Amino acid sequence: MNAVDPQLPIVKSIDLCKTYAGIAVVNKLNLEIKEGSFCGILGPNGAGKTTTLRMFIGQCPIDSGELTIFGKAMPENASLVRESVGVVPQMDNLDPDFTVKENLHVYGRFFGIPSSELKERIHELLDFASLQDKADSKISELSGGMRRRLTLARALINKPKLLILDEPTTGLDPQARQAIWQKLRELKKQGITLIITTHYMEEAERLCDRVIVMDHGEVKADAPPKKLIRSEIESHVLEVHAADDRLLERVQQDESVARSEKSGDIHFFYGEKLKVALEVLEQSTHDDYLFRPANLEDVFIKLTGRDLRE
């Protein structure tokens, strides 16, 4: 594929809509993603994240609106666009009939990459994914982290300009997650545009230079993570666990409490200083509380609510 015009956004959608059984899963989505950005899409289950990503690669028909990837209209150019896109799906679909190396080879052949070229490429990718020792292992012999790294390596076989990752670290232990993060940062340095969905707020906070919060198919917020925390929410949170009503009433009387919420037996007080509230707690016998700076998770909860989703 020809070089992408640097002025042109990698992804551009205008009023993009998708409805399943009368429910708008993606509702008038307007997005522009620039080349080289690392964009996180956050949202509760059913917010429309995966559907949006599936539309980006032509795996889901578009009901209305417009979508272009690399300036090419979708889904008409799905096949052409996918030549330059890497996909790490939510559910592993590595080929269990093949070894690690064969998985990469066979996948590369789907792109029409000649076998001679693939040999070197596979060598590089196994290095990148730290899977050199596992080249001839079966998929069933790999740990969860190794599988994800292999899926990532597989997604890079065609040297994509855009990498789409749907919950790439779900279910991994902290070490495996950090290994993936490190790889993704390397890719960002190479100039690849990355779009990731995740349920881990600290993951988005650390990796992404832009966070889009989606709910009910709509964009609720769209900014760099730090800016989102600054602009969308009070600077600090006081969590009081299992306290009696009289104490809570006194905490609430602090005038710097901008907002409060209850979830189960935890009370959340949001504000800038919360000095009086803290003094009240210190003087009381109750010691089960936590005072901390607000984070992306607080923003997320504020924007999407505390209700459980399916």
**Which residue ranges make up the site for another protein (CB under 8 A)?**
57-61, 78-80, 82-83, 85, 87, 89, 91, 93-98, 102, 106-107, 109-112, 155, 158
216 by Cβ neighbours in 10 Å (0-12 / 13-18 / 19+) ranks as: middle
Shortest CB 290 distance to another protein, Å: 42
Q: Give the pairing of strands 210-215 and 218-223.
A: antiparallel
Q: Which two tokens stand for residue 173?
A: 């232990």
CA angle 71, 212, 72 (to 5 degrees): 10
Shortest CB 138 distance to another protein, Å: 11
Shortest CB 110 distance to another protein, Å: 4
Nearer to another protein, 170 or 178 (CB): 170
Shortest CB 262 distance to another protein, Å: 40
Q: CA 30 from chain center: how many Å?
A: 18
Nearer to another protein, 61 or 224 (CB): 61
Selection from 39, 31, 26, 27 nearest residue 13 by Cα: 31
Shortest CB 61 distance to another protein, Å: 6
Nearer to another protein, 111 or 181 (CB): 111
Contact between 134 and 100 under an 8 Å Cβ cutoff? The reply is yes
Nearer to another protein, 8 or 94 (CB): 94
Nearer to another protein, 87 or 251 (CB): 87
Q: List beta partners, residue 241.
A: 266
